[in-house]
Structure 1
Amino acid sequence: MVDVEKYHGTGNDFVVVDADEDVPNRRAFAVELCDREHGIDHPASERRGADGVLFLALEPAYNPPRIVMTLVQPDGSVAGMCGNGARCAAKWAAERTGADEVMIDTPSGTRHADVDGDDVTIEMGAPVFDPEGVPVDRDEPLVEETVEGLTVTAVNTGVPHAVAFVEEVDAVDLESVAPPVRHADVFPDGANVTLASPTPEGGFRQRTFERGVEGETRSCGTGAVAVAAVAHRLGRIEAGATVTVSPPGGDLRVTVEEGNSYLEGPVVFEFAAEVPTVETDPEPVDASGD
């Protein structure tokens, strides 16, 4: 049996596993637990399954404490970064160490987090528009161009996003529109597809179709940062301004500065449980996104 906990950040939910736990097949474990029809369930949780499994190796001797974070997604692939997942990881570490600061090592780099009760702010790094850094298969940045019928801007905020500003996010059939963009040839590693529409208060509503989840999630932290980064690139907001980005799961606050960005929002603990290990390997997954 494996001890697990479940957290969510504005509805983006994750099973958290201490990396010291014996999980011989992380891919199979994540695929089974994340399944929305047959995955992990508990009376304290709003819904079955999860958007990913966070394997966290805590190194408390550092000041501030450090975590090595590995996110295995519902399809068995490993994500380079996840804003809400990193915020959940910071909260998990803070509860074990009593610290109000945490350093998180991810495949996309080391990120600093501040924990203030249930509110967690994570450093997200500088958004990247350079074609090689997104990546996109071209020589110039992809800005406000049509890809598979959707006008998008490509940016990497830890993972690649194709961001489209629309009049009203709820008027778009995301499940139909997003997959062709997500798999478009111009994105050699695939891309998350994020829609945004302005709010009267000066923020943005957001919906994201996530690569690796292969569907819409209630919240996406890298997507919220991508919305703000593209809004700044297009002159919709000023550098250094903090804007509210609202996915279906709740409000996130994003600040994009020259050379860095920050994501802030609540983290909620749902439950702790024991689950069996999983030995059977799932079907192979193309982690490149092709």
Structure 2
Amino acid sequence: MAPRSFLKMHGLGNDFVVFDARGDAFDPDADLVRRLADRRTGIGCDQLIVVDASAVATVRARFWNCDGEAVGACGNGSRAVAALVGGDASIETAGGLLTATALVGGASVDMGTPRFDWDAVPLAYAMDTLALPLAWGLLANPGAANVGNPHIVFFVADPDAIDLGVIGPEIEHDPVFPERINVGVAALPARDHMVLRVWERGAGLTRACGTGAVAAVAVAQRRGLADARVTVSLPGGDLVITRQDDGHLVMAGPAVIAFTGTVDLEDYR
């Protein structure tokens, strides 16, 4: 098998191994994804992305977390795909059809409208997703939303004071979330500024989570806590989330190529 080219990209430090398969089909299984994503013995990444040809959009993008699980959406990854394709583009994903525009050093992506119904998140049983009657230690009454993948968001005084590396996996795997869950802890020092940390299901703590930022802003706006345009400060840097008049949330921020290379996939099978 000939070596396959890849790109290493990142958005605010949330890093990806990207395979452009538009001219050469590529369908990795979970074990291969895990091996390539390993930071000691593989290329290393938070998520792996395959860009394919699409019959309904400019390209199709498929996303896997570093644990090998396929996921429907990845906000920072979608910006990476948009930056790679260039110009105005539509991106077919398992979480829906996205529209995007490449910018200097990044991209903006229309992430659509958030879904708040309990069975769309999904939850194991009916609850009010505006403030779930649930608690894990001092973290209580989160909001929930699906923005292509499932998120819950806790509003706290200081996100850095939460040991998210400990409580995150406990919440992620709670049986109340049948598809597991992404966990955000957020503070709003101002209506147009949010500070956010995210535990990503299947990836753990990352420098940034695009869908996490979109979900956190969606929940904050639903609670009347945030303006239509919010700058979200993550450990890796800032994203800007803007609610349009039609209710769609547009995410804008950096996405860059760190380096390119080739890999012999036979070494990872």
Asked whether the two chains share a fold, i.e. TM above 0.5, the reply is yes
C-alpha displacement of 1:146? 2.5
Taking structure 1 as the reference length, the TM-score comes to 0.85
Residues 1:126 and 1:77: Cα distance change in structure 2 (over 3 Å)? same
Residue of structure 1 in register with 2:158 after alignment = 168
The answer as to whether partners of 1:166 and 1:197 remain within 8 angstroms in 2 is: yes
**SS in structure 1 opposite 2:262?**
strand
Q: Aligned residue pairs: how many?
A: 262
The 2-side partners of 1:160 and 1:71 are apart by 15
Please give the root-mean-square deviation of Cα atoms over the aligned residues, in Å.
Answer: 2.0
Q: d(CA) in 2 for partners of 1:121 and 1:38?
A: 33
Tell which deviates more after alignment, 3-12 or 199-208. 199-208
Map of 2:108 onto structure 1: 121
Within 5 Å, which residues of 2 pair with 1:1-290? 1-19=3-21, 20-21=23-24, 23=26, 25-40=28-43, 49-58=44-53, 66-94=58-86, 100-144=87-131, 145-149=133-137, 150-151=139-140, 152-200=142-190, 202-213=192-203, 215-238=204-227, 241-257=228-244, 258-278=246-266
Percent identical: 37
Structure 2 length-normalised TM: 0.91
Q: Secondary structure at the match of 2:175?
A: coil
Give the deviation of 1:33 after TM superposition: 1.9
What is the identity, as a one-letter code, of the residue corresponding to 2:189? T
Secondary structure of the 2:67 match is coil
Who is 1:286 aligned against? none
Asked if the contact 2:156–2:185 (Cα under 8 Å) also holds between the matched residues in 1, the reply is: yes
Q: Hey, what's the Cα distance between the residues in 1 that align with 2:256 and 2:187?
A: 26
Q: For residues 196 and 4 of structure 2, what CA distance do their matches in structure 1 show?
A: 35
State how far apart, in whole Å, the 2-side matches of 1:146 and 1:212 are: 22
Where structure 1 has 5 or more consecutive residues not aligned to the other structure, the ranges are 41-48, 95-99, 282-290
Match of 1:43 in 2: none
> What letter corresponds to residue 83 of structure 2 in structure 1?
K
